[in-house]
Chain A
Amino acid sequence: MLAAVLKPSGGHAAIMGYDIQRHAEHLRHFTGYMPQRFSLYGDLSVIENLEFFADIFGVRGAVRQQRIERLLHFARLEQFKARAADHLSGGMKKKLALACALIHQPQVLLLDEPTNGVDPVSRREFWDILADLHLENVTILIATPYMDEAERCNRVGLMYNGQLIQQGSPAELRQFVPGEMLAVYTSDLLGAETVISTYPQHLGHQVYGDRIHVFVPDAAANVQPLQAFLQDHDVPVQRIRPDAPRLEEAFIYLITQQQAT
């Protein structure tokens, strides 16, 4: 919608002060957009795709050549120049799409779930590229389901059911978690969960694979009492340690709050 592909059903939005509906054509020169789905020409080669988008954006002559070389290097795709886009790996496709979105040197970059279905190594590489771009003063707006990616951003907006629930820096958002956090490692998750709900200092909890994150007013002071409480109720406990809450905990907590109201 921000890229003016979809018409908004209501409300206003502006990029760099330009209304996305009234100045859609103008904004195209300043914004780059990378859709969620791979949407380049699979039967064209890497270089042909770049050249096509360069031409469409009016990037010509020596500048075109220079910029394509630079983007190929940037996206680490130099060796695959002549390969058809369809025959690239998932990660390489994403990098090519990013390169095409950058061909006109946009000041604002809109990325829709850019690392979906990308292997961890390519994902890291992709974020390294984004970090470089950020240093070149490009504003990046990114939609992602991965909280570890959100942690790397300056400002995060948490969306749930089409609603913006909270926004702020990752540090600010982490503050929304009630109290402090204890990670409880146990071999009886199910039993532990029922018992933990009845712990007097209990503010909330979330189950994560082999552990339960319990929120209490003071983490350090509650390690011993909680351990004793669980053992009294015959719940085996391997380890309890205070842990720093991540964005993920904050997000889940905020959504549970939202659902409760």
Chain B
Amino acid sequence: MIRQILNLTWKEILQIRRDHFLLLFLILAPSLQLILISQNTAKGLHELPVAVLDFDQSSLSRELITAIDNTQEMHTLLFPASRQELNALIDAGEANIGIVIPPDFHRQFFGNQPEPAQIQVLSDGSNILIGSNAGPVIQGVVGQLSKRYFVSLIPIDFGGVQIETSALFNPTLNFQWFAIPSTLAFITYQVVLVIAATGFVREKELGTLEQLMITPLRRLELILGKAVPAIILGIFNFNVLMFVQTYIYHIPIRGDYLLLLGVAIIFVIAIVGEGTVISVLTQSQQQAVLLVFLFTILEVTISGYLVPIENMPAIMRGLAEVSALQHFMSTMHAIALRDASFRNILPHVSAIAAFAVVTNLIAWRSFTRVV
């Protein structure tokens, strides 16, 4: 019995050795996954854009702003003139954190008034990581500042500063509100990629592609005939998932559903292009599925699904910029939770559209070369 098992094992080893594609995959994919994930998880929040509304305009308030800017986590970038402007910046996603310093900040800080100095911290709760970390980071900065002026450690409520934090869009910082839309986008990506990636290669394997090529079907008709059903299936799938998200998980869609659907359509077209490239260039369905698996591993890390992009090192954030899934996830959060307008999400939409054009052009080029 052991002999027979060994015989079979030897045959399997021979076959794997012949299958260079599988061999390369077995070596490359797991290491890649380990490296990407460990690279990403090591870092904390990094240089988040902060908008400051400073009514106090004192040397103390300026000192506070510099101290915040000096942290690794935050970067004071924008200085709106009014509350409306501050809110607009956060809605648009240009600032992740808003800080409001009231007019009598320095007087209350130094004076022995009964009520302590107050600052208000608004964070973008549509990203759970930012929402939950903004308060503690500011708390740390203010603590340092108090220590410098009052020498000894003074309790915050005595001559110190009261920090009032509120997470916008997701006031209770419900983790599901953040995670489920991301998961939905991720599942849509996977489903569409698998459908498109197995499209041509299945016909290649069955020999039916040869049969189709001797019919009067033109190449453009052939490639569109395979892409259209994949796109329809992808959009159907997206709507089913949105239904589950809304009616089973009760996650609100604050923005325009039609706008979201429009972006989803562009996204699905982009991913169908990506899948078609895989399908045209591979020789078997097994190869295609392994490649889908590889892309999925990549996307888990660079899309911000596992680790929010604000948390990534610079190189990874560069990669995240070219991930259509990352832009789609951001759009999901922006429209569903922040009621973002078309102008707010325009950078994401352009990125997804550019991705769609590029993948489909590559798909067409490789298709006309192979067929």
Contact = CB atoms under 8 A, between A and B. Distances in A.
A101 to B, nearest CB: 8
B214 interface: yes
A46 to B, nearest CB: 15
Nearest to A3: B214
B215 A42 contact: no
Contact of A4 (B206, B207, B214, B218): B214
A33 to B, nearest CB: 5
Main secondary structure of the interface of A (DSSP, over half): loop
A25 B208 CA distance: 18
A39 B216 contact: no
Given A37-B207, A39-B208, A5 B213 contact: yes
Interface string B209-240: 01111111110000000000000000000000
A40 B214 contact: no
A39 B207 contact: yes
A29 B213 contact: no
Nearest to B221: A56
Interface residues of B, number: 12
Interface residues of A, number: 20
A38 B207 contact: yes
B214 A5 contact: yes
Contacts, number: 38
A5 B218 CA distance: 13
B208 A41 contact: yes
Nearest to A53: B215
Contacts of A42: 206
A40 B208 contact: yes
A62 to B, nearest CB: 21
Nearest to B213: A5
A208 interface: no
Contact of A56 (B206, B207, B215): B215
Contacts of A5: 210, 213-214
B214 A57 contact: no
Most central of B206, B207, B214 by chain A CB within 10 Å: B214
A27 to B, nearest CB: 9
Interface in B173-226: 206-208, 210-218
B216 A35 contact: no
A64 interface: no
Contact of B216 (A28, A37, A40, A100): A28
A41 B203 CA distance: 9
Nearest to B216: A28
A58 interface: yes
B206 A35 contact: no
Contacts of B218: 25
Contacts of A35: 207, 210-211
Interface of A: 3-5, 25, 28-29, 31, 33, 35, 37-42, 53, 56-58, 100
9 contacts: A3-B214, A4-B214, A5-B213, A28-B214, A37-B207, A38-B207, A39-B210, A39-B211, A53-B215
Q: Which 9 A-B pairs have the closest CB atoms?
A: A39-B207, A37-B207, A39-B211, A33-B214, A56-B215, A3-B214, A28-B216, A39-B208, A5-B213
Given A4-B214, A41-B206, A56-B212, 14 more contacts: A3-B214, A5-B210, A5-B213, A25-B216, A25-B218, A28-B214, A28-B215, A28-B216, A35-B210, A39-B207, A39-B210, A40-B208, A41-B208, A53-B215
